[in-house]
Amino acid sequence: MEVKKFVINDGDLILGQVEMHEQLVRGRDRDKTVGGGRWHVDDDDRNTIYFYGSSVDFGKVTREQFEESFKQPSLENMNVIFSEKEYLSDVLKEIRNK
């Protein structure tokens, strides 16, 4: 089953809908991947994108690694939220409780 996943490879944030995170780095140096997770665009406003979770293939991305990564220009106009929570439901609970 394909799922919305991301990795950071050689400083680049790479998004895709794949079965395994390793599919996102095909043709790139796998050893330069620092980690990954999942992403989700908010169903209500479509202007918020959440990054969370971890990758079985590459491990978890830290907040610092995420902040330092190069993001596609298409994300410039979006509200980008990074969470170290594993599940989207926990990310949304955390935001509601702020």
Domain assignments of the chain as residue spans, ordered by start: 3-96
54, HSE (Cβ side, Cα atoms, 13 Å): 9
Whether the pLDDT of residue 93 is over 90: the answer is yes
User: CA separation (Å) from 92 to 2, 17, 49, 51, 87?
Assistant: 22, 21, 12, 11, 9
pTM: 0.94
**Domain 3-96 CATH (choose: 3.50.20, 1.10.10, 3.40.50, 1.10.3470):** 3.50.20
| Tens of pLDDT, residues 39-54 | 999 989 889 999 999 9
Residue range 70-81: mean pLDDT, rounded: 91
What does the radius of gyration of the chain's CA atoms come to, in whole angstroms? 13
